[in-house]
Each structure stands twice: as C-alpha cells, then as structure tokens.
C-alpha cells in the first residue's frame, strides 16, 4: 500500500464535486514527475485530497480505483501523445471531520520534510506512511490503515 496526495483547486474541481460524482478521472496532469507518480499508483492506494489556492489544506481521503491509462483528453492529439500523459481514477472514502490546513502542516515539525512543502508546485506526490498517519490524526479521522 502506497500513500499519495493530489491537489485540486476547489473552484475548478473540489471535494464536494468529487463526492457528487462518486468517482473521478484524474486528468490534466502535465508534468513529468507528477505523471510518473500517477503511473506508480496501485489500486487501493490511499490518497489525500488537497485543496489548493483558496483555503489550502487536506480535506478528505480517497483511494485509487483504477491504475494509470493514457489520458483520453489527448487521444486525438498526436502532438501530445508523445509525452505519454496518463490518468488514474479515484473514488472518495471520507471527508475529514477536521480539514488539515496548510498552516497546521507547516507548524508540525514531524511534517517538515513533506513533499507538499518541499516541492510546493508538484500536484501529485507520494506521502510517507508516518506522514500520512499523522495527517489522519490531525484530521480526527478514525480509519483503519
């Protein structure tokens, strides 16, 4: 089991929209490192859902329900296909009773090396098990790991 964090701007695609749909095709990733992270995801991996820009913070927990396949939004664009962009599919598990604001993450010494802070522009990143567990605690999420 691996743990991840994905970012989305709530005004573009927020947690509520995600829950309403019940499943998300995670498309639009156009960065090699983020793409490689998508490719490394396995079915059942747990994913922190992060709202960027407005009220930045982790708002809920999701899981990978379908592993990487070619991004259908560039299926008709040969110029884009050479990049090998992919999507995964995610489904919501639960919202956080107490969302974990970025400010709280920054204030937590044990999270000083989290990718979210170290590589602030990366939109799909791995999270260490200890970091993941701590964020769930901070969210008051009682979930079996």
Partner DNA sequence: GCCAACGTTGGC
**Structure tokens that stand for 87 in this block:** 């999507």
User: Judged by CB under 7 A, which of 76, 121, 142, 144 binds DNA?
Assistant: 121
Is residue 117 classed as helix, strand or coil in its secondary structure?
helix
How far apart are alpha carbons 108 and 68 in whole angstroms?
33
User: Judged by CB under 7 A, which of 37, 89, 123, 131 binds DNA?
Assistant: 123
DSSP state of 53: S
- Residue with Cβ nearer DNA (44 or 106): 106
- Residue with Cβ nearer DNA (125 or 141): 125
User: Judged by CB under 7 A, which of 53, 107, 112, 143 binds DNA?
Assistant: 53
107 contacts: CB under 8 Å, gap ≥ 6: none
Give the residue among 42, 46, 27, 26 at the shortest CA–CA distance from 94. 46
CB of 112 to DNA, least distance (A): 14
CB of 144 to DNA, least distance (A): 28
Which parts of this chain interact with DNA (CB under 7 A)? 7, 9, 31-33, 52-53, 56, 102-103, 106, 119-123
């Amino acid at each position: 089991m691996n743990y991840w964090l994905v970012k989305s701007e709530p005004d573009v695609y927020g947690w509520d929209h995600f829950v309403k749909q019940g499943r998300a095709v995670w498309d639009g990733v156009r960065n090699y490192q983020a793409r490689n992270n998508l490719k490394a995801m396995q079915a059942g991996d747990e994913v922190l859902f992060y709202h960027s820009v407005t009220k930045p913070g982790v708002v809920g927990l999701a899981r990978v329900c379908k592993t990487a396949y070619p991004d259908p939004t560039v299926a008709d664009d040969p110029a884009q296909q050479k990049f090998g962009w992919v999507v995964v599919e995610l489904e919501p598990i639960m919202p956080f009773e107490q969302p974990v604001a970025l400010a709280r993450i920054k204030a937590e010494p044990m999270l000083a090396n989290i990718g979210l802070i170290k590589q602030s522009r990366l939109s799909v990143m791995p999270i260490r098990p200890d970091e993941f567990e701590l964020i769930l605690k901070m969210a008051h999420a009682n979930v079996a790991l």
